[in-house]
Amino acid sequence: MIILANTASTTPITPTWRWLCKHPICWLGFGFGAGLAPKAPGTFGTLPALPLAALWQTLHLPLWQNIVLALILFLMGIPICAITERCLNRPDYGGIVWDEIAAMMLILFCVPSNAMWWIIAFAVFRFFDAVKPWPIRWFDARFHGGLGIMLDDLIAAVFSLIILIPLVHFFYQ
């Protein structure tokens, strides 16, 4: 299988566009290539969630269906991130950003669909994902592999929603 071609080697891989094109699962893990950004790959890796959420919201589905989609993206992310990590031979490589996309999609589904709220949501999530306050840091240190990569971002999304939902109710009425 092409996706697992590099798993037999113990040499860490430095990913490139060419390498991602040969490894479709890794292309997803790298957020369609956004994780290749030389600086702040997590921030750039969060960006694909914006057009994806905007496109998805044109379907005008109820909130519960959007949350189910976000949870499906989270569950899909566990093997996507695990395979990508294995192919790279690097644990929790910063360019693996599927976790940021799935977490940001969850947040965007729970705030109003306008630029101001999406910018605020983006900033709040990036804060929690970068700073990793307790218990995010605790989970990040103890869970590894695909689940570990996904879990700290899910918790950062929950923390973000704890801040954002009251703000939305206070300011968006």
Residue ranges of alpha helices (H) inside 16-97 are: 17-22, 24-29, 41-46, 49-57, 63-88
Q: Is residue 80 within 8 Å of 28, Cβ to Cβ?
A: yes
Q: Is residue 125 within 8 Å of 107, Cβ to Cβ?
A: yes
Give the chain's domain count. 1
pLDDT value for 8: 53
Domain residues for 42? Answer: 2-171
Q: Is residue 37 within 8 Å of 20, Cβ to Cβ?
A: no
pLDDT value for 172: 81
pLDDT value for 10: 81
Distance CA 145, CA 86 (A): 9
Distance CA 141, CA 68 (A): 27
Here the tokens at position 152 are 């700290």
In tens digits, the chain (173 residues) has pLDDT values of 444 544 456 899 999 999 999 999 999 999 999 999 999 999 999 999 999 999 999 999 999 999 999 999 999 999 999 999 999 999 889 999 999 999 999 999 999 999 999 999 999 999 999 999 999 999 999 999 999 999 999 999 999 999 999 999 999 86
What single-letter amino acid sits at 28?
L
Here the tokens at position 168 are 């939305």
What is the reported pTM? 0.90
